[in-house]
Structure 1
């Protein structure tokens, strides 16, 4: 596994879109006001090693091509020894989705990083299930995942299986926009990443999951209408205008750095 192959302290750089930036996991103390699974993974590295460093160049709304063309070169300048490259989710929602072209870009990014001797890992796409607003995208994501595994295998890239994180089909792991995970969801992904990378002595608490609330059909209909008004309509508007939620956003941590782990309110011991 990647961590066992590292001879020096970890210099971890996260690349990608909103998933890697941490959108949905609100944290006013952090840059951009979010934390996310990448921050949580980096916190574990820093707790285990006083010399571990972390940068996060991910920006919400980014398509894979800008991630490859902008973030990968910037990452190489930081000289990391561990990189997570995760993207394509925003591409999969576009009408002109070309999975083969997407895999060619992924291969380009993996090659650039691996040619420098950097250990790389990625995440598969998440299974949206057979119901819900994003269920129509399920077949695209399944094909995307199969091809991504092949490209990753060819380049010696480790794959974290986000597709089979079935516990995340519970709505309580998601933020109000239903597109991004909340703190509990990001914690689940961080643990899966660390387990896949063979990280030892994981001190991360178990995710704090909100209690389930039973709702009547009328309440659900009202909630769905409110969600569509507050999140779906603005999202469609951005697509029509050709703008992105990340147009005015800068990377959270553009340079390798360290910070203290945030406490988990009400978290259970691991």
Structure 2
């Protein structure tokens, strides 16, 4: 199996940092799970870069994925989360971009697996807008997958992962527990029976006004400043695994 993951910070693995500072994430865990389940090495590439909009994912990243030699046998695709954070997001355009990527993979004979990201909207500023857009994009992607006979992993409608215990301090990216849950959902959706990862259901206390002010200063204000400057958190970054890397069975 030769597996390529394309996408943004969700697929890059932001929020699941190891002790040595490297970023892991659900796609890395899926590659390891596939190697273990099949008891043979998996060739793995991860072209995802944080901050990327859907268009460069389904053009630049998909171009590089399909150009790998030897060719990939499976690609996972998630994108659109950063687009939904922009004012005036065009959901019909996002659907059209995804459908074009589907057609390209089908024509290339590559198995494409579509994913929706988790739903962080309950704790985000303007979360109701993001949730409405996320539901629309998820429904359209599910319909697209059904029409083309593709696997679709619906993380957005997974109620469990909406709990605060699965999210990083920035409230936008999953933490290690969140990435582990996504990996288990993907592996199970691919036909490898996997028990969904669940964290301790302990209640979460209410945040103080001071904690909220700190959150806006530390996370929201820098995001707004990048938007005003036309910058992205992924500017200057390259893919963490741009070519085939062997993942050995554990």
TM-score (norm 2): 0.90
Find 1:82's aligned residue among 74, 78, 81.
74
Aligned to 1:71: 61
Structure 2 unaligned runs (5+)? none
2: CA distance, partners of 1:26 / 1:174: 13
Structure-1 separation of matches of 2:105 and 2:143: 17
Counterparts of 2:106 and 2:187 in 1: how far apart (Å)?
20
Determine the structure 2 residue equivalent to 1:11. Answer: 2
**Partner of residue 56 from structure 1, selected from 46, 51, 54:** 46
Q: Secondary structure of the equivalent of 2:238?
A: coil
Which residue number in structure 2 is paired with residue 155 of structure 1? 148
Is the alpha carbon distance of 1:222 and 1:90 closer, same or farther for their aligned partners in structure 2, counting shifts above 3 Å? same
Contact 1:99/1:144, CA 8 A, preserved across alignment: yes
Taking structure 1 as the reference length, the TM-score comes to 0.84
Who is 1:182 aligned against? Answer: 175
Q: Which position in structure 2 is the counterpart of 1:256?
A: 244
In 2, Cα distance between equivalents of 1:163 and 1:211: 22
Q: Distance in 2 between matches of 1:261 and 1:181?
A: 25
> Per-residue CA shift, 1:56-77, capped at 9, x if unaligned?
0000000000111100010001
Residue-pair matches, total = 246
From 209, 216, 232, the counterpart of 1:228? 216
Moved more, 46-55 or 16-25: 46-55
1:111 is matched with 103
Matched, 1:24 2:15: yes
CA distance in 2, matches of 1:69, 1:109: 8
Matched, 1:165 2:131: no
Structure 2 match to 1:34: 23
- State the secondary structure of the residue aligned to 1:199: coil
User: Are 2:228 and 1:240 aligned?
Assistant: yes
**How far is 1:127 from its partner?**
3.4
Structure 1 SS opposite 2:44: strand
From 69, 74, 97, give the equivalent of 2:89.
97
